[in-house]
A and B are shown apart, each in its own frame.
Chain A
Amino acid sequence: MIRSTSPVAELGVRAATPPALMVGMFLFFAGHNRPGGGFAAGLIIGAVVALRWMVGLRTTVVPSQLMAAGIVIVAGVALAPVLFGSVVLDQAVWSTSLPVLGKVKAGSAAIFDIGVSAIVVGLVIAVIDGLSPATTSAPEGQSS
């Protein structure tokens, strides 16, 4: 098991986690108008999970469940328009004015992107979990 014996490394990773997740979230929302998007955000979050994994901070997220949730989300967004008499994958855009933030615009594509992110994060966790050597005792929450 690659387990950090260095408390410094562990602390460093712990400290880096929130800003890294912030970057991920930023990329997620930036994707609307600038480079970024669900896939990139998923990779960043996946990389954070991987980094924590390397210093021994395991996640309890079950990758298969995360991916299943992602598929349900993307499929749901894809099919939802049919219920409202539209065609598959037609996009809905809502915009509204909020205090502080001003004009906010959200499309169903954002929800679609959440699903994409979930699948990518699940994939990264699955790969990391699969590749990390000698995890003889499955980590908590790991389904077989």
Chain B
Amino acid sequence: MNSLAFVLVLHLCWVGLSACVPSSQGRMVLRLAAIPPLVSTVVALGVLLGSSGDAPSLDVSWVPGLDLEFVFQIDSLAALMTLLVSGIGVLVFVYANGYFGPTAAGTGRFATTLLAFSTAMLGLVWADSVWTLFVFWEATSITSFLLVGHKSVDAAARLAARRALLITAGGGLALLAGLLILADRAGTTRLDDMGPVGGTAGGVAAALVLVAAATKSAQFPFHVWLPGAMAAPTPVSAYLHSATMVKAGVLLVALLGPALGETDVWKPVGIGFGLLSAFWGAIGALRHTDAKLILAWGTVSQLGLMIVLLSAGSGKAVFAAVSLILAHAVFKAALFMVVGEIDVRAGTRDISALSGLGSRMPLAAMVAVVSGASMAGVPPLLGFTAKEAAIEAALKMDGLEALVVGFAVIGGSVLTVAYTVRLLLGLFGPSDQPATDIADRRPAMAFPSALLAVGSVLGYVFLGTVNSLVRPAAVQVQPEAEVYYLLRWPGITTAFLISVAIVVAGSTVGWLVFRRPLGVPSPVGAGVVDRGTDGVLSVARFVTGRVQHGSLPVYMAVMAMTVIVAALPFAFDVEPSAIYLWDSPMQGVLAVVVVGAAVLTSGMASSRLGAALGLGSVGVAVSGLFVVHGAPDLALTQLLVETVIVVGFVLGLGHLTRRFPSAKAGWRLLRLVVSVCVGGAVALALASSASNPSGVPPLEDLTVAAVDEGGGNNLVNVILTDVRALDTLGEVVVLAVAALGILALTESGRSRKEEVA
């Protein structure tokens, strides 16, 4: 079996089975949930180590007629991302075992959702067709919504989850539009085969794709969902907001850069998003005192840097961006884990309330200092070489671009060092407050973060291995990246001097702002989003109140008028010569006698039951017309439907008085006019369609196909269940949804009645 298919099916089955486990066994689900990511990590390692030329791929055709297919491929970039998604995923699952105490509720649900997210993320990084990419992109939005809102009793968590969903799903719509344009222009849906796309259409697609990436990667001004998403349990933040979900946007920019990078829009818009985010995120990180929020805002800033580099698109910049993706995932996940551990053990994660943790939690402090140093770009750590590459990439550019990218990289780095210093001092530094009480160590929490911190060190020690991971991935995005590699010791170069200056300046700023609370910024952007959402809802309420006022006659009149207006254009198409009275006189008899009589009955009847029966007999007569016309299937169905409708009528009439209420003559006349007009309009439309036959139905072919392929002699039913089975599928689903609507309406009506009674 294909290794890709195996891993995906394993993940999906595991999610399905986990969902079926009763919630009392939630711990077990959480304990075992690390297994599928472990398997996919092994597969990714196999791909990276095995040098067999072809990347493993999987191609599942789903609706060939519509070019819908699931296409997966583990190329170099995907393998690197898999390592992050699944490798850090394993650690996060281990960590979650410690994070959730033995009495925590909903651990099974949590583990299932997190695994589902992990599956969606795998599909996303493996996707090799724009449609597959889109499907899994949306899947990550939905699962992350569930994860952010995990504490569903908490109103703040629900609000944050809604905000995250609205923004990322809105970005998903932009992505869909962008991908549609892109696939159309490029003439292929495969990411592999896509050549550069230009022109206005390419520009529009580029803008849409960048907006989508910005929503997912929490880029300014779409970043507003990320701080709120910190309401999620910390394992979620360590996973989604370091290595995976937010990296999806960066990945998108990397994947589509080759196709859209040559449009006029790509560079300025991408660099604009990234530049603003790099600074605004870092400033946010400097102002908050909640350690988790500091990290979240820091993520906005770091992702901004990656987007700047990827949008700039030179070989060195792409290479630096890919290195940053790797380094950032490793140190940011570790930092989130440490903050979560402090939160659990000390009961708070506010840096102004914590004190004396440095000596009481030595291991956590070490992990945080190492990972923080990697984030700040201090040797000998992985973050240092990645940042060094970014500075060199900026130095290699010319003109305005060098200025802007250099500004983003250097300015962003200074601020990053500053908030790192402030965070570490706040968490572990000296304080005049009494030392915080802490609970016992939880090994399951300490181990994964320690491993990641060691990873930051080992990444530097075994830089050759890291190079062999990063370079092919970067080359896939930008072939010119082939010549670059991460340097362990650059020597005293310009870049190194800049690096030193960054650390010195940043530390000074961090030290200066540490004791000075800058005032927590009000969540302006989030407020705007929430007000927007509430505004839409209240407009909807207003419009619904005006349109749905509950008067049945008005509803009927609106529908009738619509039919009349819709039928009017057909009046010009009617060909009088094509209209004749009947095929056989029997039709005339049925039409005139039975239908006429029935109409009279229902029109004249003073009792409701009589009118309903009269309408039923009209239906029966129409059924008779079908028989005469030689359509027994239609006749049978019509007869049965008519029967059931009459029964429904009879039951429903029990709610009403026996007789029609007496109406004024004017009303009766109005209703008569509307009825006649609607009847006339339908007749007109039918006459026009009969006047303009658009071809002869392929009866012969269908009959042969019905017997050969459908295995039945009844052409109508073979069409329904085989030839056009997709239509039938859609129709019965609509039917079921309508029935559910009926159930919901009548249930709510009943419970309201009971309340009144």
Q: A residues within 8 Å of B by Cβ?
A: 2, 27, 31-40, 43-44, 46-47, 50-51, 53-54, 63-64, 67-68, 70-71, 74-75, 78, 82, 87-89, 91, 93, 105, 107, 109, 112-113, 115-116, 119-120, 122-124, 126-136, 138, 144
Q: Find residues 707-757 in chain B having any chain A CB closer than 8 Å to their own CB.
A: 709-714, 716-718, 720-722, 725-726, 728-729, 732-733, 735-736, 738-740, 742-743, 745-747, 750-751, 753-754, 757
A70 touching B647, Cβ below 8 Å: no
Enumerate chain B residues within 8 angstroms of A93, measured Cβ to Cβ. 711
Closest chain B CB from A143 CB (angstroms): 9
A115 touching B732, Cβ below 8 Å: yes
B648 touching A127, Cβ below 8 Å: yes
Closest chain B CB from A121 CB (angstroms): 10
Q: Which residue of A lies closest to B631 (CB)?
A: A35
Enumerate chain B residues within 8 angstroms of A75, measured Cβ to Cβ. 729
Enumerate chain A residues within 8 angstroms of B500, measured Cβ to Cβ. none
Partner of A132, one of B654, B721, B735: B654
| B644 beta carbon closer than 8 Å to chain A | yes
Partner of B633, one of A35, A64, A67, A68: A35
Apart from A109-B711, A135-B750, A144-B751, 20 more pairs, CB < 8 Å? A32-B711, A32-B717, A36-B633, A37-B717, A43-B640, A47-B644, A50-B648, A54-B651, A64-B739, A64-B743, A68-B736, A78-B726, A88-B63, A91-B709, A107-B712, A109-B722, A116-B728, A126-B742, A127-B742, A130-B746
CA distance A144 to B709 in the complex (A): 43
A128 touching B722, Cβ below 8 Å: no
Enumerate chain B residues within 8 angstroms of A105, measured Cβ to Cβ. 711
A112 touching B738, Cβ below 8 Å: no
CA distance A2 to B650 in the complex (A): 10
Interface residue tally for chain B (C-beta within 8 Å):
54
Enumerate chain A residues within 8 angstroms of B64, measured Cβ to Cβ. 87
CA distance A64 to B718 in the complex (A): 28
B743 touching A130, Cβ below 8 Å: yes
Closest chain B CB from A59 CB (angstroms): 14
A131 touching B651, Cβ below 8 Å: yes
B636 touching A36, Cβ below 8 Å: yes
CA distance A50 to B64 in the complex (A): 43
Enumerate chain A residues within 8 angstroms of B717, measured Cβ to Cβ. 31-32, 36-37
Task: Give the top 3 A-B pairs by smallest Cβ distance, nearest first.
Answer: A130-B746, A43-B640, A109-B721
Q: Which residue of B lies closest to A87 (CB)?
A: B64
Partner of A51, one of B647, B709, B712, B751: B647
| B652 beta carbon closer than 8 Å to chain A | yes
Enumerate chain B residues within 8 angstroms of A39, measured Cβ to Cβ. 637, 720
Closest chain A CB from B750 CB (angstroms): 7
Q: Which residue of A lies closest to B731 (CB)?
A: A116
Partner of A43, one of B637, B652, B757: B637
A112 touching B742, Cβ below 8 Å: no
CA distance A54 to B654 in the complex (A): 11
A91 touching B711, Cβ below 8 Å: yes
| B61 beta carbon closer than 8 Å to chain A | yes
Q: Find residues 35-73 in chain B having any chain A CB closer than 8 Å to their own CB.
A: 60-64
| B655 beta carbon closer than 8 Å to chain A | yes
B713 touching A123, Cβ below 8 Å: no
Closest chain B CB from A57 CB (angstroms): 14
A32-B713 contact given A38-B721, A126-B739, CB 8 Å threshold: yes
Q: Which residue of A lies closest to B733 (CB)?
A: A71
A54-B647 contact given A2-B654, A33-B713, A70-B736, CB 8 Å threshold: yes
Enumerate chain A residues within 8 angstroms of B714, measured Cβ to Cβ. 31-37
A87-B640 contact given A2-B651, A113-B721, CB 8 Å threshold: no
A67-B736 contact given A105-B711, A130-B743, A133-B654, CB 8 Å threshold: yes
CA distance A132 to B740 in the complex (A): 16
Q: Which residue of A lies closest to B64 (CB)?
A: A87
